[in-house]
Amino acid sequence: MHISEISHYESSFNLIKNQRSDDFRIEGICDRHGFSSHHIYFCASKPFWTHLRDGAQKGKIKDTFIIFDIKFLKLVESEFDEVMTDVAGWGSVESVPLAMSNLSKPFYDDIRATFNDEIDGRKMGTAKIDPTAKIADNVFIGADVAIGAHVVIHSGVRILSQSSIDENSEIYPNVTLMPKTKIGKECRIHSGTVIGSDGFGYNFDAGIHKKVWHMGGVVVGDQVEMGSNTCIDQGTFSPTVIGDGSKLDNQVQVGHNVHLGKGVILCGQVAIAGSTIIEDYCVFGGQAGAAPDIRIGAGSQVAGGAGVTGSLEAGSTVGGHPARPVKEWLRTQATLRKLSLKK
């Protein structure tokens, strides 16, 4: 897609400044986890603008094209001279969420065209498999898949295009790795787990839930273990990340763009909503959950069944719904019980 073609996909797009040329190529969409040249960055509110300013100060936004929410644009135009020098250009749209739905589709189609999950990569000669790997019957391996030394893959596994599994990992029966899934060293992925499905992202317009097309993939670190029937959604434009040494129990749900740090424990039926960051060595008890786009500080503990609706400082211990410091929550429960028992 060229700058001049953006309006073909998003009718409300207004080109304000082109600092390159009409045929300057846009190759994808980037987000807060990393700027990329020849990519679109959406800016709809102050946190995204702050991130953009930080990127400018570090010289990371060269040749990035910025699309603003038209209402927010007016609030920051006075700061453009110190921020927008190196970008490819900028424009505005009436609704950034809807523009994300409309503009993500052509980039998704371009990436999807590089996949081949109809013919086994071993037949095409595109799969790279270490000779020490053990692969059972009835395993499908897509195009450009890489499998490292001493990997064990059980029957019924599906490993789709451009995925990789590093050395000494074991994938149990009926696991599915969707395209662009990266599994680290010495991991164990148990039966029925799906890694890399699309995130649950839609924007409502004129009676239709318009899909945001996901293409970020998943990166799983070293020595990670996932229980049966766990689901990890791929990132929207950059990967969902599962940190080294993390352990996920059965039936855990991790949403798109989530970043888990090192040694995170998620017990059975935990659900983490999209874009949440969980720092190192946090623990979530069974059936606990976290709201989207919050940060859980390192070493925090969340009691079983709790619902975390806001960010937590490092070392927090919380319970209840909405989650509160655990001692406060216990006192509240005791007080309610006393009141309920009064005649």
Active site residues: 256
Starting at the earlier edge strand, list the strands of the sheet with 28-30. Answer: 14-18, 89-93, 65-69, 39-43, 28-30
Our separate counts of H helices and E strands in the chain read 7, 36
Residues 188-192: contacts with CB within 8 Å, 24+ apart? 188/224, 188/225, 188/226, 189/225, 189/226, 190/225, 190/226, 190/227, 190/228, 190/230, 190/250, 191/228, 191/229, 192/228, 192/229
Name the DSSP letter for residue 132. T
CA distance 103 to 8: 9
Both tokens of 337, joined, read: 């019980």
* C-beta neighbour count of 42 within 10 angstroms: 21
Contact 172, 191 (CB under 8 A): yes
Total number of residues shown for the chain: 343
Peptide bond before residue 106 is cis, with ω within 30 degrees of 0: no
CA distance 186 to 253: 22
Q: Which residues contact residue 82 at a Cβ distance below 8 angstroms, ignoring those fewer than 6 apart?
A: 53, 56
CA distance 24 to 39: 11
DSSP per position, 212-250? PPP--BEEE-TT-EE-TT-EEEPBSSS-EEE-TT-EE-T
> What burial letters (b/e) apply to 260-284, b meaning 16+ CB within 10 Å?
bbbbbbbbbbbbbbbbbbbbbbbbb
